[in-house]
């Protein structure tokens, strides 16, 4: 048996001076409750509180971080248990899927997936053995048995890992029925929705007209004009807020912001409604809707998050056969200084407004985002996102933003995941990386240890709490 | 009392091998005279040699590095002692301003402001205590008293810190009267002007026509045509040179260079003079004027500096209420390979020409700037600029330029500051960072210690001396 | 005498934990045979197997890495032995050229040229002394004598340094006569061609029409239409393959890919043939030809390499006087996500297709390239290229690609050189840097030592072997 390599000082610098300080800082935050203000878990899990199915369905099949890598190495999505949209592949055999993953687990060496997955295996399922082709079967069995115990019911997982708040991400037209069930239950867990209106603000969304129709039904009047549409959105925000939401989230291709005249906005809206979207209108309308959303945020206090810069479903063959979220979302170059100009000029000095900006284009850390966040009162920086949510990626984020923006214009950690069990793993990794970063500052006499302790607490808990009004 | 954390080995790597070598290299350059070939101190200080006012007016109110951070955290500019353009806030209370800064000083942990400020407190004012809410008052008093002593008169500061040369930055239309007073005095300090013609070369500058009028008055003829305008600029350069200038500086949005026909240049000039600037003309004219300035440099030997890539006064609300330089200048993506093509093709092989290029867009270090500087004889790279003038920023500059351009195509350090007392602090930080960078090369057997000693001397003194013809 | 500073642990981290592991990993790969699947050596060397001329003609005059740096510091190309196109400078004096290089060798401190050159001096020529103005002459003599011995005949160099395969780069119209001579000889060395069709696919190439004519002669019919042109290219690929080629290479300004209609492609081709190239046609045609080349790769199995993003011959004065490859090729910003869309959508899921992408724009490592390579089965990443083929550059490549793409979507090392003797030096440096990178992962408990050993072997040998079908 190869033991799993989870050393207590893992991911800390090998220099003894830094490692010692990092260990001390990490010890101070390791057990803090987890705040998860941005993620994609399914609220149905916590509403229904049913046991999770088998290990493959829980840990492999829904996780595009995992299957994208195997796919890149020539393993078909079908063999990984991912059914095509027409359902022709039928039910996967979870043990075979797991076996294929175990065989290929070496591919993840040096990647965050391995960091998280080893944590899940060892710290959550108490498995002492490294995952590989040989150990795959027995580990499958161990996890499968564990999942049948009450300890692994969704609510118990939140409680056990001290996940104090967890936010889901929900379409503007979602009923939030699961959230209602949770609120009506006697369970004390805090699962809150996040208002994500992309499917009704992106005129180019394939179901936009249909979504507008649903939105109209929800508010009880037909959205025949732009003002009615705006007021419907305001109502939905109020509803989300009443259900616990503290934030909105906006996935846009470009963070372009620009105010349209009421007439132009209405014209574009009407054209889109009548199915005649003019080229470029979706871009202009998106820019205007970010302005509107910012305006609403100043009024209702919901924190505004912008997640721009992704070319979604880049692989059209995979998209047409398997649908969205199949590991083919690819970052693009993104610009912030000009694009956010209109929005920041109108709302950036408003102390009621809280804007959190993310990027997949790291070139913006030191060039545009840290300088913007180090000036505008309304603006803070979201953590290293998605492909950058990794040891090197998080370290670069701190190295390239702290000197200009300070850690106090950042918002702590987001796990941003649909993989429930990886939440404690991801927060643990983030706490380790931040502890190590701060330890480096202490060891090179840039900050005092006492200061580092305060910063450590801020990064692990306080900043998220205040930035997201939790 | 919390002692201030200024360890003698601060900012050196915690690895003992690197730290030992860095300490040795630093010891060899620590006491070298300071060359400050690019900065923004006020020549009136050295002409009049009056005591500085209180600590807040000296150290906080004029320093946008400091107040931008406090502003980003919700502190109003008014409370920081910054008066609005209409003067409605009246005289600030310096002790209150200082107190607010002291309370919020923790925000700067891990930023260069803290590195510099702690140096100023400890090395210049001999204050043994860390700045915080509790110590703020007593530190204020200590500094206030010190400022009243002859030791802190502006000329004595230059002498005391061995600032061998300091360059100011001066509009093309400036009389340089203060520089004349300094030259006429019996003080031996060397304060030299730098020719900065942006306000007469940028057609879109709000006072351009007025500036051209003043320029005409200075040279004694009306600048009714482009050739007259060019010859006025040549005269002013000659005047600056006669007053000690060795360099010019050009703050342009884009480093675009391109030669216009004489007719086009004159047409644009005439249009602008008559108040009818055509869209895009300022961009084309700026590109042409960089060519003209390079041509003049080949003739008069003034070193040409280009500082491009900033969106000035991004926050229009703050700009309209408080004016320029309020911490709202934000970098933008910048391109050099195509933009400098015309200029380098015409003058890049001319050994009489010295061009120093800066960037706020670090993506250019390894991609465009180091390859260009590693080829063209006329081109050298300015140091890590502005937001990148920091421990991590300077380290990245070396790591991303040395391998392709060598340190010998860079020009040593610029402090680029209007904060006089931070000059020794900034040079000290730069010497520490370069010592540490070189120590890393030695410790990994990339260079020999003897080579490192020579490089260290070059970086701390020789390169600036030769690049700026000092 | 100053001894040359080639410590056995050179280039490994100075932290003892990392250094120890790096040394161990390096020991495991140091002696592995060298695979050189992409480079620019001259096949005539191996066909004729004549002694190399003097040290300057072998090591200085043809090496733009070296003379570009000296030129940037004001040394004329003439003095470096580089003749102008009109031949007016006559034969250089090799000892003088060498002396000039020796005097200026300090400029290379901290650059990869010094890493490679010191390796060549010490490990290949057994010279114990550091190169400088003083030692220059005696080192010249020692090398000159060595070059006259059989040990330094080209074939013996390949054998001595265990260069198992070396690929040259050859125009589509090249006869490959030297390769034929090598194949016909009884020498066992494996020197294979690479199909590089730029000069016949780039409509803007100054000799395009002439090259098409030659291509027609080679296949025995006039290339009067686009389909005939395509079929000629297919024939040449088949010929290259029969001569041992396993790959093609495409040097394009932009990696833009896009399919044209047959009619459009033919129209552009005809226009260009008749000498009337329309603006933009070369860009569109290049995009289409990348699609065609990818299609052919799926059919004939040749691995496709794309090397984009260079502004060639940026210095037109140097270009007109001295020709191409004079150190004035400068990288430009490059985009991949949109540009490769068409190609990856048509061929990216095809398991018969192998595409290797390079970049000089490091911003793409983490933003675009690692995410693309971590998804598409056909795509792998070429190593840190050209200016980034350095200690820091290779380290950044690993740090910015591994976490998203894993090392298994990269292809090992390319030396990409025309400097034969630097091949062992460059592979040694790459093996050291990768050993050090992996050692860092082990020392921080990100991977186990056993895993590192496997990865080390993959990076030094296995990945190149499989990626290039060697």
Nearest residue of chain A to residue C444 (CA atoms): A11
B397-448 pLDDT, tens digit each: 999 999 999 999 999 999 999 999 999 999 999 999 999 999 999 999 999 9
Strands B330-331 and B310-311: antiparallel
Nearest residue of chain B to residue A372 (CA atoms): B330
**Which region, left, alpha or beta, applies to residue B187 given φ > 0 means left and ψ of -120 to 50 means alpha?**
beta
Calculate mean pLDDT across residues A73-99: 95
Read off the pLDDT band of B43 (50, 70, 90). Answer: very high
Buried b (16+ CB within 10 A) or exposed e, C376-400: bbbbbbbbbbbbbbbbbbbbbbbbb
**Closest among A178, A24, A2 to A102, alpha carbons compared:** A2
Task: Count CB atoms within 10 A of the CB of residue A352.
Answer: 11
Please judge whether C404 and A391 are an interchain contact, meaning their C-beta atoms are less than 8 angstroms apart. Answer: no
Tallying the residues shown for chain A, one arrives at 470
CA distances from A208 to A249, A307, B145, C92, C158 (A): 18, 20, 69, 72, 64
**Token output for B314:** 């991004």
Please judge whether B330 and A337 are an interchain contact, meaning their C-beta atoms are less than 8 angstroms apart. Answer: yes
Please give the ipTM for the structure prediction: 0.97
**Cα dihedral across residues C333, C336, C337, C338: positive or negative:** positive
Task: Count CB atoms within 10 A of the CB of residue C184.
Answer: 9
User: In a mutagenesis test of the B interface, which of C82, C111, C113 is the best target, namely the one with the most B β-carbons within 10 Å?
Assistant: C111
Of C17, C371, C377, the CB nearest to A71: C377
Q: Is the pLDDT of residue A138 over 90?
A: yes
**What are the chain C neighbours of B455 within 8 Å (beta carbons)?**
109-110
Please judge whether A109 and C451 are an interchain contact, meaning their C-beta atoms are less than 8 angstroms apart. Answer: yes
Please judge whether B332 and A455 are an interchain contact, meaning their C-beta atoms are less than 8 angstroms apart. Answer: no
| Residue C214 touches chain B, beta carbons under 8 Å | no
Concatenating the DSSP letter of every residue in C151-183 gives GGSHHHHHHHTTEEEEE--EETT---HHHHHHH
Read off the pLDDT band of B349 (50, 70, 90). Answer: very high
**Token output for B432:** 């520490």
Residue ranges of B 296-315 with Cβ closer than 8 A to chain A: 311, 314-315
On whether the CB atoms of residues C408 and A73 are closer than 8 A, the answer is: yes
What pLDDT, on the 0 to 100 scale, is given for residue A288? 98
What pLDDT, on the 0 to 100 scale, is given for residue A247? 98
CA distances from A69 to A246, B148, C436, C469 (A): 34, 67, 25, 22
Read off the pLDDT band of C308 (50, 70, 90). Answer: very high
**Token output for A187:** 């369970």
Tallying the residues shown for chain C, one arrives at 470
Please judge whether A387 and C376 are an interchain contact, meaning their C-beta atoms are less than 8 angstroms apart. Answer: no
Of C7, C107, C330, the CB nearest to B445: C7
Rounded to whole angstroms, how far apart are CA atoms B32 and B162?
A: 8
**Cα dihedral across residues A265, A270, A273, A277: positive or negative:** negative
Subunits with 3+ Cβ pairs within 8 Å of A are B, C
Q: Exposed, middle or buried: residue A1 (CB in 10 Å: 0-12, 13-18, 19+)? A: exposed
Buried b (16+ CB within 10 A) or exposed e, C425-443: bbbbbbbbbbbbbbbbbbb
On whether the CB atoms of residues C38 and C169 are closer than 8 A, the answer is: yes
Place of tokens 């202490």: A442
Please judge whether B373 and C72 are an interchain contact, meaning their C-beta atoms are less than 8 angstroms apart. Answer: yes
Mean pLDDT, chain C, rounded, equals: 97
On whether the CB atoms of residues C412 and B385 are closer than 8 A, the answer is: no
Calculate mean pLDDT across residues C67-71: 97
* DSSP structural state of residue B80: G
CA distance, residue C335 to nearest chain A CA (Å): 8
What pLDDT, on the 0 to 100 scale, is given for residue B451? 97
| Residue C81 touches chain B, beta carbons under 8 Å | no
On whether the CB atoms of residues C236 and C172 are closer than 8 A, the answer is: yes
Please judge whether B445 and C2 are an interchain contact, meaning their C-beta atoms are less than 8 angstroms apart. Answer: no
CA distances from B63 to A372, B49, B327 (A): 17, 21, 9
CA distance, residue A243 to nearest chain B CA (Å): 29
Beta bridge partners of C330: C311
What pLDDT, on the 0 to 100 scale, is given for residue C268? 97
Least reliable range by pLDDT among A362-366, B83-87, C402-406? B83-87
Calculate mean pLDDT across residues B68-81: 97
| Residue A316 touches chain C, beta carbons under 8 Å | yes
Strands A310-311 and A330-331: antiparallel
Please judge whether B115 and A373 are an interchain contact, meaning their C-beta atoms are less than 8 angstroms apart. Answer: no
Beta strands in C69-111 (DSSP E): none
| Residue C18 touches chain A, beta carbons under 8 Å | yes
Nearest residue of chain C to residue A104 (CA atoms): C408
Residue ranges of B 382-421 with Cβ closer than 8 A to chain A: 387-388, 390-393
Read off the pLDDT band of B42 (50, 70, 90). Answer: very high
Place of tokens 């995009």: C287
What pLDDT, on the 0 to 100 scale, is given for residue A193? 98
| Residue B50 touches chain A, beta carbons under 8 Å | no
What pLDDT, on the 0 to 100 scale, is given for residue A3? 83
CA distance, residue A408 to nearest chain B CA (Å): 7
Read off the pLDDT band of C4 (50, 70, 90). Answer: confident
CA distance, residue A253 to nearest chain B CA (Å): 18
On whether the CB atoms of residues A280 and A335 are closer than 8 A, the answer is: no
Nearest residue of chain B to residue A375 (CA atoms): B72
CA distances from C433 to A453, B258, B442, C421 (A): 35, 42, 16, 19
Q: Is the pLDDT of residue A463 over 90?
A: yes
Q: Is the pLDDT of residue B161 over 90?
A: yes
* Chosen CATH of A16-50+153-467 out of 3.40.190.10, 3.40.50.720, 3.20.20.140, 1.10.260.40: 3.20.20.140
Residue with the larger pLDDT of the pair A2 and C10? C10
On whether the CB atoms of residues A192 and A244 are closer than 8 A, the answer is: yes
What pLDDT, on the 0 to 100 scale, is given for residue C3? 83
Concatenating the DSSP letter of every residue in B133-168 gives TTTHHHHHHHHHHHHTSGGGSHHHHHHHTTEEEEE-
Of B10, B107, B330, the CB nearest to A368: B330
Please judge whether C327 and B441 are an interchain contact, meaning their C-beta atoms are less than 8 angstroms apart. Answer: no
SS3 C109: coil
Share of chain C above pLDDT 90, in %: 98
Calculate mean pLDDT across residues C144-153: 97
**Token output for A301:** 């206090």
On whether the CB atoms of residues B71 and B80 are closer than 8 A, the answer is: yes
Rounded to whole angstroms, how far apart are CA atoms C379 and C464?
A: 14
**What are the chain C neighbours of A361 within 8 Å (beta carbons)?**
363, 367
Please judge whether C406 and A111 are an interchain contact, meaning their C-beta atoms are less than 8 angstroms apart. Answer: yes
| Residue B328 touches chain A, beta carbons under 8 Å | yes
B352-401 pLDDT, tens digit each: 999 999 999 999 999 999 999 999 999 999 999 999 999 999 999 999 99
Task: Count CB atoms within 10 A of the CB of residue B384.
Answer: 28
What pLDDT, on the 0 to 100 scale, is given for residue C10? 97
Mean pLDDT, chain B, rounded, equals: 97
**Token output for B182:** 């300094």
Rounded to whole angstroms, how far apart are CA atoms C32 and C457?
A: 9
Q: How many CA atoms lie within 13 A of B364 on its CB side?
A: 28
Please judge whether B12 and A444 are an interchain contact, meaning their C-beta atoms are less than 8 angstroms apart. Answer: yes
User: In a mutagenesis test of the B interface, which of C385, C392, C437 is the best target, namely the one with the most B β-carbons within 10 Å?
Assistant: C392
Beta bridge partners of A129: A3
Read off the pLDDT band of A2 (50, 70, 90). Answer: confident
A310-327 pLDDT, tens digit each: 999 999 999 999 999 999
Please judge whether A407 and B15 are an interchain contact, meaning their C-beta atoms are less than 8 angstroms apart. Answer: no
Rounded to whole angstroms, how far apart are CA atoms C459 and B235?
A: 62
Q: Exposed, middle or buried: residue A181 (CB in 10 Å: 0-12, 13-18, 19+)? A: middle
The secondary structure element, H or E, covering residue C310 is strand C310-311
Concatenating the DSSP letter of every residue in C399-463 gives HHHHHHH-GGGB-------S-TTHHHHHHHHHHHHHHHHHHHHHHTTSS-HHHHHHHHHIIIIIH
**Cα dihedral across residues A131, A136, A142, A143: positive or negative:** positive
**Cα dihedral across residues A44, A50, A56, A58: positive or negative:** positive
Of A337, A368, A403, the CB nearest to B390: A403
Read off the pLDDT band of B114 (50, 70, 90). Answer: very high
What pLDDT, on the 0 to 100 scale, is given for residue C5? 75
CA distance, residue B341 to nearest chain A CA (Å): 24
Rounded to whole angstroms, how far apart are CA atoms C26 and C3?
A: 24
Asked whether the domain spanning A51-152 has the same topology as the one spanning A16-50+153-467, the reply is no
Tallying the residues shown for chain B, one arrives at 470
Please judge whether B345 and C73 are an interchain contact, meaning their C-beta atoms are less than 8 angstroms apart. Answer: no
Residue with the larger pLDDT of the pair A90 and A329? A329
Please judge whether A361 and C367 are an interchain contact, meaning their C-beta atoms are less than 8 angstroms apart. Answer: yes
Strands C330-331 and C355-357: unpaired
B8-32 pLDDT, tens digit each: 999 999 999 999 999 999 999 999 9
What's the CA angle centered on C51, arms C120 and C416, to 5 degrees? 45
What pLDDT, on the 0 to 100 scale, is given for residue C63? 94
- Tell me the domain boundaries of chain C: 16-50+153-467, 51-152
Nearest residue of chain C to residue A118 (CA atoms): C446
Calculate mean pLDDT across residues B101-113: 98
Residue ranges of A 329-348 with Cβ closer than 8 A to chain B: 335, 337-338, 341, 344-345, 348
On whether the CB atoms of residues B22 and B444 are closer than 8 A, the answer is: no
Share of chain C above pLDDT 70, in %: 100
Rounded to whole angstroms, how far apart are CA atoms C139 and C144?
A: 8
Domain C51-152 coded CATH 1.10.2020.10: yes
What pLDDT, on the 0 to 100 scale, is given for residue B412? 98
Share of chain B above pLDDT 90, in %: 98
A428-438 pLDDT, tens digit each: 999 999 999 99
CA distance, residue A402 to nearest chain B CA (Å): 7
Nearby residues of C86 by Cβ (< 8 Å), 6 or more positions away:
none
Nearest residue of chain B to residue A334 (CA atoms): B333
SS3 C142: helix
What pLDDT, on the 0 to 100 scale, is given for residue C402? 98
**Closest among C451, C315, B366 to A363, alpha carbons compared:** B366
Rounded to whole angstroms, how far apart are CA atoms B363 and B388?
A: 12
Rounded to whole angstroms, how far apart are CA atoms B377 and B349?
A: 6
Read off the pLDDT band of B3 (50, 70, 90). Answer: confident
């Amino acid at each position: 048996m190869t033991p799993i390599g989870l050393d207590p000082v893992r991911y800390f610098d090998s220099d003894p001076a830094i490692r010692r300080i990092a260990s001390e800082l990490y010890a101070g935050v390791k057990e803090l409750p987890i705040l998860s203000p941005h993620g994609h878990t399914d609220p149905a899990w916590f509403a229904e509180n049913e046991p999770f199915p088998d290990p493959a369905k829980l840990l492999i099949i829904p996780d595009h971080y995992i299957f994208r890598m195997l796919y890149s190495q020539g393993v078909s999505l079908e063999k990984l248990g991912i059914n095509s949209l027409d359902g022709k592949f039928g039910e996967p055999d979870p043990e075979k899927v797991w076996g294929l993953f175990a065989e290929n687990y070496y591919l993840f060496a040096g990647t965050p997936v391995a960091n998280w997955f080893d944590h899940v295996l060892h710290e959550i399922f108490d498995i002492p053995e490294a995952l590989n082709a040989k150990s795959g079967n027995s580990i499958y069995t161990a996890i499968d048995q564990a999942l049948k115990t009450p300890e692994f019911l969704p609510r118990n997982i939140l409680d056990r890992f001290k996940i104090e708040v967890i936010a889901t991400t929900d379409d503007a037209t979602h009923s939030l029925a699961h959230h209602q069930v949770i609120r009506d239950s006697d369970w004390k867990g805090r699962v809150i929705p996040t208002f994500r209106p992309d499917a009704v603000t992106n005129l180019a969304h394939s179901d936009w007209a249909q979504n507008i129709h649903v939105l109209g039904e929800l508010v009880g009047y037909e959205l025949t004009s732009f003002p009615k549409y705006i007021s419907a959105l305001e109502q939905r925000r109020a509803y989300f807020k009443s259900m616990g939401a503290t934030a909105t989230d906006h996935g846009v291709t470009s963070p372009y912001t620009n105010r349209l005249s009421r007439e132009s906005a209405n014209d574009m809206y009407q054209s889109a409604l009548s199915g005649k979207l003019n080229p470029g209108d979706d871009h202009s309308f998106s820019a205007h809707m970010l302005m509107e959303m910012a305006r609403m945020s100043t009024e209702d206090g919901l924190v505004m998050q912008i997640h721009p810069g992704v070319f979604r479903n880049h692989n059209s063959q995979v998209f047409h056969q398997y649908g969205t979220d199949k590991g083919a979302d690819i970052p693009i170059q993104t610009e912030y200084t000009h694009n956010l100009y209109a929005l920041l000029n109108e709302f950036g000095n408003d102390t009621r407004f809280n804007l959190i900006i993310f990027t997949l284009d790291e070139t913006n850390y030191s060039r545009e985002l840290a300088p913007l966040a180090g000036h505008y009162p309304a603006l803070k920086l979201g953590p290293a996102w998605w492909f950058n949510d990794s040891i090197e990626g998080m370290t670069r984020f701190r190295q390239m933003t702290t000197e200009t923006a300070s850690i106090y214009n950042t918002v702590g950690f987001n796990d941003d995941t649909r993989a429930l069990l990886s939440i404690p793993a991801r927060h643990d990794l983030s706490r380790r990386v931040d502890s190590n970063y701060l330890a480096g500052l202490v060891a090179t006499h840039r900050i005092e240890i006492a200061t580092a302790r305060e910063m450590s607490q801020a990064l692990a808990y306080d900043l998220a709490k205040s930035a997201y009004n939790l």
